[in-house]
Structure 1
């Protein structure tokens, strides 16, 4: 708590003094579509239009280039949808020459709150959508970029549904790879004997929520034998200020030759992105671009980024 109070006091002073990097977006963005690095405004703009793709996504006439041969499929998180989750990543990737696609999963069509159904069923929906993207673009593989559950759920597709043969990279933003304690609530519930009754009720509305708890049978099965599969490159990006996937290190993957783990504050101490803002954060978005195109790395910007509301400048 003391660290947060100090940050809150220091950030405005540094900004006023002009001591912060002023880079508003990752280097190299062409700028054809407006990129919204503020999760809150993007969420509001997209929440009630779940059937509409975010800016820059779902151009089914797009053909991948030699520079970017793999289409990018964006996988939203729990309680989010294809539109409200991706007002930064979708236009940014399109501006940088990628064919970009987004879809809804885990809820009824037209429901703005998606991603609540069983993770295995959602992974099947991802499998169908990837096949549609590959058929439309003529590409051999896709790259997957996911937020929260959208970073973890594709691993079921890769492990059990043949996705490894169709996927070159998986980039996760605050992915729930090893589950969440929900700030310790699940452990407290276990100790006082209330977790199972609470989960029985929660399961009726959000099976995916229960399956993402630390120690769930679903995660135990998914992670058995290793959390990655051969042939796929993984990048797991997390923030120390994640209040949803707790502890925040549960969003990382075990060290391996095909795994790159990134904690945003190791790159920029001014970045206070939380679980939501990480999906729009200009620093995290640069990491996404670098993960998708490691042969042409971009410099990592450093600037004040606030939880939910995004860049201060």
Structure 2
């Protein structure tokens, strides 16, 4: 019996040691993914919950339920607070929808105390592939939606956060041509901030494919299949020429661009950057300059917790917090 007791005690000690080692490894791995340890007496900045499969899961959910709102969004009874006086309107990318694009950012911003709204626009009801129509028509839909949000919430202005088309040409068209701003009286602007994740601000070559379809005169045929949003976002399109003719910005608006060097859709990625005109401010951010090991590309940046923290800081620069860099992978995010 004594030998059995000794053996049992040794086995228990061994299991305890392995448990401690595993716990230590898990803690080290978690700390590494979140950008290092934080002192116990230092409050950790709020950070969205990073899950590597969140993006693909949302894409599947948006395909099955294309008209669904992402969690935390589209509560028209929400009233802005003194800390967050402007509702946040999330504008999705081309060939996607609100649910698939914003299922990480919408609930997280809601938890931060924002009134969050996320429209579907630019596509056929019931189709998961939206924002494929003409840019001016999509901008008019965003204009109508912002007016609805302002009326419901009683707010004077909103902040726009958009991905790809939703952070680039469509909101810029709305600001310039569809009543989003009043250049003569910027205090009357309906939009205070425009924050773009991988925005298509100056068009794209689509890794050369867009250049090829343009030079071969194939854009009409391509748009018949994938929608007018394709040629409207090519470098040198009529939409881009008209938008850029009088400068990149509108007075009274604060612009933030969050780009990734690994972008494979809006190429070259420097096409995303803006130049501030009179009465506006611009901050162009390359995410690898903040988190050098960030591997997000065009699609996964909407599910990149590093980018989400930059969005939070751009929405509330007076209370900006250090970005706690974490693991973010191509396609998957994290």
- With the shorter chain as reference, the TM-score category is 0.7 to 0.9
Q: Give, in angstroms, the shift of residue 162 of structure 1.
A: 1.2
The answer on whether the counterparts of 2:34 and 2:327 sit within 8 Å (CA) in structure 1 is no
TM-score, normalised via structure 1 length: 0.87
TM-score, normalised via structure 2 length: 0.82
The answer on whether the counterparts of 1:36 and 1:88 sit within 8 Å (CA) in structure 2 is no
**2:137 is the counterpart of 1:125:** no
Select which of 191, 216, 221 maps to 1:167: 191
Q: Give, in angstroms, the shift of residue 283 of structure 1.
A: 0.5
**2:160 is the counterpart of 1:144:** yes
Unaligned runs of 5+ in 1: 1-14
**2:106 is the counterpart of 1:90:** yes
Note the alpha carbon deviations across 1:22-71, whole angstroms, 9 max, x for none. Answer: 269x9325x8xx77563222222223212110000011111000000000
Q: Give, in angstroms, the shift of residue 220 of structure 1.
A: 0.6
Query: Higher helix proportion, which one?
Result: 2
- Structure 1 residues 76 and 291, CA gap change in structure 2 (3 angstroms): same
The answer on whether the counterparts of 1:271 and 1:306 sit within 8 Å (CA) in structure 2 is yes
**2:252 is the counterpart of 1:235:** no
Aligned to 1:290: 313
Select which of 294, 300, 304 maps to 1:281: 304
Note the alpha carbon deviations across 1:112-135, whole angstroms, 9 max, x for none. Answer: 110010000000000000011001
Aligned to 2:10: none
**2:271 is the counterpart of 1:250:** yes
**Which has the greater radius of gyration?**
2
Partner SS state of residue 100, structure 2: coil
Count the aligned residue pairs.
Answer: 289
Distance in 2 between the 1:209 and 1:170 partners?
Answer: 22
Aligned to 2:34: 22
Q: CA RMSD in A?
A: 2.1
Select which of 240, 245, 248 maps to 1:219: 240
Partner SS state of residue 131, structure 1: helix
**2:325 is the counterpart of 1:302:** yes
**2:132 is the counterpart of 1:116:** yes
Unaligned runs of 5+ in 2: 1-25, 37-43, 182-188
The answer on whether the counterparts of 1:36 and 1:87 sit within 8 Å (CA) in structure 2 is no
Q: How does 1:16-95 map to 2 (within 5 A)?
A: 18=29, 20-22=32-34, 27-28=45-46, 38-95=54-111
